[in-house]
Amino acid sequence: MKIFQAYHFLQLVIFLSLTAATSVAAQKYAKPGCKDTCRNNVVIPYPFGIGENCSVNKWYTVECNASKPYLSALNHLEVVGVDLVNQTVTVNIMQKISDCSRTQSVDLGRTPFLYSRSQNKFVVQGCGHAVLMDDHGSVLTGCSSTCSNDATTVTDINKCFGIGCCEATITHYIKSYNMNLTGLESLGGDGPCGFAHLVDKNYSYVEGRSSSSHVKTSLLWTLSDHDFDQITCDYTSKARLLVDLGNGTSISSWKCSSYSYYKPIQGNPYLIGGMDGMQCYIN
């Protein structure tokens, strides 16, 4: 009897393994006839798309250059990743200042993108510095750092408490911002200014210390009524989102809220057949 039970248990394990492998192989991220990578590890899921007629509109069109994906209509920003759950695209963007000065971010203007309030941190690295972040004169956030003997060793994204670096969150989604970084002798600052940048919260401060002025930053992508009319959610519900722009204003967007046995999301709910028919709960 035990041998019989063990045999059927083994059959079940093999069946589940084959089912999982088939499910992974069946996952679809790009529209039929379109590629989903630029020969690297960055998956480009619909509503984004590589090449013409593969995305929901021109803003979501990606081009491949030296095997790397770029948003061709958005200053050719390099795409680091696309998150279908949080509805963000992470890009390498030039918006870091590294001296005592004032600088302006890339203006997202009339694009369907906004700097993500929930996925980014505003970070200052350095000893004895203060920074203010504003949007057309309206202060968004700010912070200041003091000094200690080991202040320059702070690299952990969870250990930035104001000594050698400081961090803050932004209060709402924004299209653009200015940064004003100054050195403060009262906080022990007696050298050159450090770095200030809006950075995706999943990336370490070590990456921010590089000589490059590009930083990994996440943008919320939004879908208008017209855009969403082109999309049929797969095994999902359609959800309308209100995006807070501050001062009591907001814009509406749409999202396919996925049903899946898996978490994080597997496949692409923005394509028919993209979720392999798996249903359980709403993410």
Tell whether the model's pLDDT for residue 19 goes beyond 60: no
Residue type, 2: K
Fold of 84-221: Jelly Rolls (2.60.120)
Determine contact, residues 261/282, Cβ cutoff 8 Å.
no
**Full 3-state SS string of 34-90:** CCCCCCCCCCCCCCCEECCCCCCCHHHEEEEECCEEEECCCCCEEEEEEECCCCEEE
Q: How far is CA 280 from CA 27, 160, 231, 264, in A?
A: 17, 38, 21, 13
Decide: residue 49, CB within 10 A, 0-12 exposed, 13-18 middle, 19+ buried: buried
Whether residue 202 is predicted with pLDDT greater than 90 in this model: the reply is: no
Q: Which residues pair with 71 in a beta bridge?
A: 62, 77
140-161 residues labelled b (16+ CB within 10 A) or e (exposed) = bbbbbbbbeeebeebbebeebe
Distance separating alpha carbons of residues 239 and 253, to the nearest angstrom: 8
Q: What is the mean pLDDT of the chain?
A: 77
The pLDDT value recorded for residue 6 is 47
Residues 95-103 have a mean pLDDT of: 63
C-alpha span between 123 and 195 (Å, rounded): 8
What pLDDT does 128 receive?
78
Q: For residue 2, what pLDDT band results from cuts at 50, 70 and 90?
A: very low
Shortest CA distance to 134 belongs to which of 25, 246, 232?
A: 246
pLDDT on residue 102: 66
148 pLDDT band, cuts 50/70/90, is low
**Can you say how many angstroms the Cα of residue 22 is from the centroid of all Cα atoms in its chain?**
29
- Give 149's pLDDT tier (boundaries 50, 70, 90): low
Cis amide bond preceding 269, omega within 30: no
CA distance linking residue 111 with residue 173, whole number of Å: 13
pLDDT given for residue 134 in this prediction: 86
Average pLDDT of the segment spanning 269-279: 72
**pLDDT for res 142:** 87
Task: Encode pLDDT of 24-80 as tens digits.
Answer: 444 589 999 999 999 878 999 999 999 989 999 999 999 999 889 999 999 899 999
Q: Which residue has the higher pLDDT, 143 or 56?
A: 56
Whether the Cβ atoms of residue 164 and residue 151 lie closer than 8 Å to each other = yes
Please count the other Cβ atoms lying within 10 Å of the Cβ belonging to residue 212. 11
Q: Whole-model pTM? A: 0.80
**Domain range annotation of the chain:** 2-30+223-282, 84-221
Strand 113-115 relative to strand 214-221: parallel, antiparallel, unpaired? antiparallel
User: What local confidence, expressed as pLDDT, does residue 9 receive?
Assistant: 42
Q: Are 269 and 275 in contact (CB under 8 A)?
A: yes
